[in-house]
Every structure is written in structure tokens, then in C-alpha cells.
């Protein structure tokens, strides 16, 4: 029920529900990973049932693929889709320049590939994810398992010359063992506090041997839909340099969306 949802969940629902309206018949759509993307997948499944909407989707993780199948959404590989009309995904942080940190859910590599293969990327997030400067959320860096400790040391050395506030690097763990991504890689979380030059840092990190990709998404996002706990949403369009507001009706008691809220 909406009154049992946390303020953050209500905001995520509002942003995801509004973004679902951008999906049109026949589109090829990238589906993101994470708690906000889960609201999106449910909203799109409901549109299929209520409106007969038909589209094909490329999921960015096994978790999203499983949920999409449960909703009856037709899935294809990125190779089969060729190119995507739209990708909708969440973010762990976003700033006024549409720069993002992603990868809290461990799917940053597929998320970046899918987003880069799309005509447009819409980011959906609760307003609490907006920051003045990126870096409070740990920056994920995906690395291959071979020699990952040497890669970590190279990253730490690189950070000594970076415009960041902190330089602590921690391997992400799951059950006391290294967290393993869908691609079989590990993730190092960089606790930087503040990132002064996101574009430069992204380029430098990807030059380190052993690094597969990093969670800085720069010049990829086209629109941010920020949700508020009261159902308001703010749509910010990078190309138009403008924003608009809308209102979304939150789920009523007993609504099928209520089971997603944690």
C-alpha cells in the first residue's frame, strides 16, 4: 500500500511510472537494473496488460531479465535488437550536468553498453540521488579476477594524482567472498567523497590494465526524471535545457505495485 511505502519508494515509483509513458509500440528498449528499475518493469508490464503495448526489451542483468519475463515482456539480446530506441535506468547519484554514478547493483558494464547503444537514455531516480558534486556514493570499478589485487594497487596509485577527496579502495564482497558480476568479474568500490573531474577520472581509470569499466556515466544521459515522495516528478531534458513538472497518482491500498516496496 502507498502508506506503507517509504518516502524513497514513493519517489522511485513516481519517477518510474512517468518514464514508462515514453515507451511506444514497436520500440526496442533497454531495461536498467536496481530498485527504481524494478518499478519501471512492473509499470511496463501493466501497460502491456491494460493497453496492449508491445515492445522488445534488452535487460541489463539477470535479475531484470527474470522480472521482465514474469511480466510477459518480450526479451531480445542486444545483438538481435541491433540498436535501441531508448534505455531507462536508475542511478546512484546524478548531478546538474547529467553526470551519473551507477553500479551499486553490480551491473554497470551491461548498463553502460546498453545505454551507449541507445538513441536516448532516461535516468529515473528519487530526488535524494541528486548531488552538487559526484562522489559521496562509492564509485564502482569492474575488474577482471586475474591479478585483481595488482589492479587495485594501480588504481590506488592513480588516485594519488586525481582531483578527489578520499582514496580508499575496497573490494566488494558477498557472503565474505568477492562479489561476482553477471560477466564473471569483480568490483572495487572507490570511496572518493568528491570527484572534481568526472570525465577525466573515467578516462584515466579505463586505461589501467585489468579495469573493464567504471561506474561514471558521462555524456550518456539525455533526461533525468526525479521523483518526490508526494508523487511529483520533475523532467529535466539536457538537449532542451529545460525542465517540467508533473504529478503521478501513487498506488492505492492493495495495488499490485505494493509488493515491490521494501
* 3 tagged catalytic: no
33 is in an annotated binding site: yes
Residue 147 main-chain phi, psi, to 5 deg: 65, 25
Spatial contact of 262 and 5, defined as CB atoms under 8 Å apart: no
With residue 51 as reference, give the H or E element that holds it: helix 35-51
Catalytic option among 66, 80, 111, 156: 111
147 is in an annotated binding site: no
193 is in an annotated binding site: no
241 is in an annotated binding site: no
102 is in an annotated binding site: yes
CA nearest to 40, candidates 122, 137, 98: 122
89 is in an annotated binding site: yes
35 is in an annotated binding site: yes
- Tell me how far apart the alpha carbons of residues 109 and 249 are, in angstroms, rounded to a whole number: 34
With residue 115 as reference, give the H or E element that holds it: helix 108-116
182 is in an annotated binding site: no
**C-alpha to C-alpha distances, 135 to 86, 95, 154, nearest whole angstrom:** 27, 10, 20
Binding-site residues from annotation for substrate:
33-36, 89-92, 102-105, 129
Task: Provide the annotated active-site residues.
Answer: 111
Which residues are documented as binding site?
Answer: 33-36, 89-92, 102-105, 129
Amino acid at each position: 500500500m502507498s502508506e506503507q511505502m517509504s518516502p524513497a519508494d514513493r519517489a522511485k515509483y513516481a519517477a518510474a511510472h512517468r518514464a514508462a509513458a515514453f515507451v511506444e509500440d514497436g520500440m526496442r528498449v533497454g531495461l536498467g537494473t536496481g530498485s527504481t528499475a524494478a518499478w519501471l518493469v512492473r509499470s511496463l508490464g501493466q501497460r502491456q496488460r491494460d493497453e496492449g503495448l508491445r515492445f522488445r526489451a534488452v535487460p541489463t542483468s539477470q535479475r531484470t531479465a527474470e522480472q521482465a519475463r514474469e511480466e510477459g515482456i518480450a526479451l531480445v539480446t542486444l545483438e538481435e535488437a541491433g540498436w535501441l530506441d531508448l534505455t531507462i535506468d536508475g542511478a546512484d547519484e546524478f548531478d546538474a550536468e547529467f553526470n551519473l554514478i551507477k553500479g551499486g547493483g553490480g551491473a554497470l558494464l551491461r548498463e553502460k553498453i546498453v545505454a551507449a547503444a541507445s538513441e536516448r537514455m532516461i535516468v529515473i531516480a528519487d530526488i535524494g540521488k541528486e548531488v552538487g558534486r559526484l562522489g559521496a556514493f562509492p564509485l564502482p570499478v569492474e575488474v577482471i579476477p586475474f591479478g585483481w589485487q595488482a589492479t587495485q594497487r594501480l588504481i590506488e596509485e592513480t588516485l594519488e594524482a586525481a582531483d578527489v577527496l578520499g582514496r580508499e579502495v575496497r573490494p566488494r564482497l558477498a557472503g565474505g567472498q568477492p562479489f561476482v558480476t553477471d560477466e564473471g568479474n569483480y568490483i572495487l568500490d572507490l570511496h572518493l567523497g568528491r570527484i572534481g573531474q568526472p570525465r577525466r577520472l573515467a578516462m584515466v581509470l579505463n586505461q589501467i590494465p585489468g579495469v573493464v569499466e567504471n561506474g561514471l556515466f558521462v555524456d550518456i544521459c539525455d533526461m533525468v526524471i526525479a521523483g518526490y515522495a508526494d508523487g511529483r516528478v520533475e523532467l529535466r531534458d539536457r538537449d532542451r535545457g529545460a525542465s517540467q513538472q508533473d504529478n503521478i497518482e501513487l498506488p492505492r491500498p492493495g495495488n499490485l505495485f505494493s509488493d515491490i516496496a521494501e
